[in-house]
A and B are shown apart, each in its own frame.
Chain A
């Protein structure tokens, strides 16, 4: 039977509403939006924007793009850009401009004069969190508690706040230990990272394999965290490694950072992961975690992953170079690509340059840089590769910036990979100089 009175009621209600709006509109009255009407208005606005967006698309109008709007994952942007990361030797910046051989980072490759580029095998490039269970485990590690920052964040912060070369009795180490101890469920991870902390504390030697193992221990948890990944990059950068080992670590870090980026983008869409502390006087039910992972987060992250880049690692603190001679290969995201003379490349911090024979690259300002046969160069140690004139220019600019010259500081930002070693030396020498705080801020843009 038709429930005519329902229709009548709905019609009357709609009529009354319309009349009320009309009367208020004509009378110039304004009323406060009630909490019940607010969602309806929001829904209406969403609808209007959606329809407007559809119409714009039909008309072929471009959508405004943000930094993450159309990123190109490393390895997919064929040959247009290349980044070269150079490793600062632990003794300071060496003059490697005579192209006599590989850098300290690439010592093990010195025998490789010619041959195919040593690309590492990184395996299939898929979003690393396989299911909701993995997502929940990750969320528990990276989400701020009601009163405490996320455990991963605490660990990364504690590790980064311990000054370089801090003595074993530095109080910062106890913070690091406490942050590691908080990760009670992660036995393997803790053991591996505690060994790293011990090595750092006591000045012990580490290898690039150790760095890879630290990363593997993180990802096994699964702990995907850009801060910790950045820390690992910084620790591993000066360690000696072959081109393949270096490219493997940087390739894995690149994927790690892309996963972080995809998860960040997904959360911005679905809403953040939230933590609600248990507030009842009664004990919480078994398994209560207080964590609310928004529905659809995993699917959204998966869909973003293929088009996510490594964030600032892909776009900032880079060095633009031009290839002058053949024989140079770019190793990026696990792929090796030969570079042609005349090609312009942007050296990123997650890239490796490998020379199969003596080769030259050029920077518009700093001039030529030389690579010996088998040389491995990254953004960390590229500065030492430039000829004397280029290195002198960097030195002058750093000295000016340390004296407080804002133009010099701006100029250094554009050549951070080539200048960071000189900046470190300069601020260590005169920590209190007028421009030293600015240089320290600039270094932060390179180190993370």
Chain B
């Protein structure tokens, strides 16, 4: 039996993207839908920082954000009905929401695992909540060494606050604290200086995200790294994986057979297939885009379960290429900014 499983695993590992796509098409043909693995909720559009790369263009509270009761009923309860995917809370800055502790407590009581993305500045204030309900994963933004980070985030002390947040979360028992760096043209060539800081921060891993021209980022397209930078960062990450848990995140797309050098699992774009995003006002989106034309519906009008099962067909069929190609990050592809060939293409050419 074990040998059989081993064989299946091997077959799957060798052709994960193909199996994934075939499986998606099969499910669609059989009128079946996978349960989501993760649902990200943009808790609020509020944020006390104004980072130029922000994918949600966060700042002021959005008009018509979900109320506490709506979140509990339309988000949490519906997620339970969907098979309890991981409840990823992001923003804006989630910790600026007054009711966040109540929502987390309710979600945990319903048996949901939760995770969060934060800039870390308010983590110490919520220590009691984190001790009581430690997230299974917490990602803290870290854009560079102290000067670079503070300059980019527009607030002196934000770098120190992020490092303090990492320590606090580890002390509170969070099993995986990730230092998350969004690679931009400004910091791509500064990662060697950031690495020792991350390694000494107490974080369990370092997630290298990639700038996407979404939200406020759309106003700062000059932050897109150059192809040379993409290659260098990929080569850098590959080397550092020998020393620390470094992972190229989904915005990078698939490196094909070379994925093993950059991440723990083969890349598969989960947008609309195993994950979705709920916007601050209840719009259900395939990923972290602020473009409401991509919405599959609003929770106030249709239950999440209904939107999940009936929506997102363009991701589950052989539809438009940017949606159906599971090897490319959908978010980057929709912005005409696919980068996997730039980042990994040269490596492949070299070796073949």
Contact = CB atoms under 8 A, between A and B. Distances in A.
A285 interface: no
A114 interface: no
Given A67-B257, A161-B199, A41 B32 contact: yes
A270 B33 CA distance: 28
A64 interface: yes
Q: How large is the interface on B (under 10, 10 to 19, 20 to 34, 35 or more residues)?
A: 35 or more
A70 B350 CA distance: 11
A389 B289 CA distance: 52
Contact of B261 (A31, A67, A271, A445): A67
B243 A46 contact: no
Contact of A32 (B19, B83, B192, B245): B83
B244 A157 contact: yes
B11 A441 contact: no
B132 interface: no
B9 interface: yes
A227 B348 CA distance: 22
B26 A45 contact: yes
Contact of B352 (A70, A406, A413): A70
A400 B191 CA distance: 20
B264 A448 contact: no
A74 to B, nearest CB: 13
A340 to B, nearest CB: 24
Interface stretch (B43-51, B70-78, B233-241, B334-342): B233-241
Contacts of B26: 41, 44-45, 48
A69 B261 CA distance: 13
Given A296-B6, A445-B235, A21 B31 contact: yes
Given A21-B31, A46-B8, A413-B232, A53 B260 contact: no
Contacts of B20: 45
Contacts of A66: 255-259, 348, 351
B51 to A, nearest CB: 20
A64 B240 CA distance: 26
B219 interface: no
A294 B309 contact: no
Given A66-B348, A316-B235, A437-B192, A271 B258 contact: no
A19 B11 CA distance: 31
A149 B242 CA distance: 11
Interface in A47-94: 48-50, 52-53, 64-71
A46 B12 contact: yes
Interface centre among B2, B20, B242, B259 (most CB of A within 10 A): B242
B35 A406 contact: no
B33 A153 contact: no
A270 B2 CA distance: 11
B318 to A, nearest CB: 14
Contact of B245 (A31, A50, A144): A144
B10 A49 contact: no
Interface string A380-393: 00000000000000
A238 B347 CA distance: 28
Contact of B350 (A25, A43, A315): A315
B193 A31 contact: no
B15 interface: yes
A42 B239 contact: no
A156 B243 contact: yes
A286 interface: no
A269 interface: yes
A25 B31 CA distance: 6
B228 A406 contact: yes
A442 B232 contact: yes
A226 interface: yes
Given A149-B245, A444-B192, A42 B19 contact: yes
Interface centre among A45, A52, A147 (most CB of B within 10 A): A45
A445 B6 contact: no
Interface residues of A, number: 75
A64 B256 contact: yes
Given A33-B35, A66-B348, A67-B257, A271 B13 contact: yes
Contact of A445 (B27, B232, B243, B258): B232
A435 B188 CA distance: 12
B34 interface: yes
A48 B31 CA distance: 18
Contacts of A41: 23, 26-27, 30, 32
A46 B11 contact: yes
Given A269-B10, A315-B351, A21 B189 contact: no
Contact of B310 (A30, A45, A264): A30
Given A70-B352, A269-B14, A312 B238 contact: yes
Nearest to A152: B242
B257 A65 contact: yes
Contacts of A29: 31
Given A269-B9, A294-B6, A295-B2, A37 B244 contact: no
A441 B257 contact: no
A33 B32 contact: yes
B127 interface: no
B352 A312 contact: no
Contacts of A156: 242-243
A135 interface: no
A341 interface: no
Given A161-B196, A296-B3, A444 B236 contact: yes
A93 B10 CA distance: 49
Contacts of B245: 144, 149
Nearest to B148: A437
Contacts of B23: 41-42, 44-45
A410 B228 contact: yes
Contacts of B256: 64, 66
Given A156-B242, A315-B351, A271 B260 contact: no
B228 to A, nearest CB: 5
Interface centre among A41, A67, A156, A413 (most CB of B within 10 A): A67
Nearest to A69: B257
A49 B34 CA distance: 19
Contacts of A38: 34
Nearest to B235: A445
Interface centre among A30, A300, A314 (most CB of B within 10 A): A30
A67 B31 contact: no
14 contacts: A25-B31, A29-B31, A30-B33, A64-B256, A67-B261, A68-B261, A156-B243, A161-B199, A296-B6, A316-B235, A316-B347, A413-B228, A438-B189, A441-B193
Given A25-B30, A66-B255, A300-B10, 17 more contacts: A30-B310, A32-B34, A41-B27, A45-B20, A46-B8, A65-B257, A65-B352, A66-B258, A67-B347, A149-B245, A271-B6, A295-B2, A315-B350, A316-B235, A410-B228, A438-B189, A441-B236
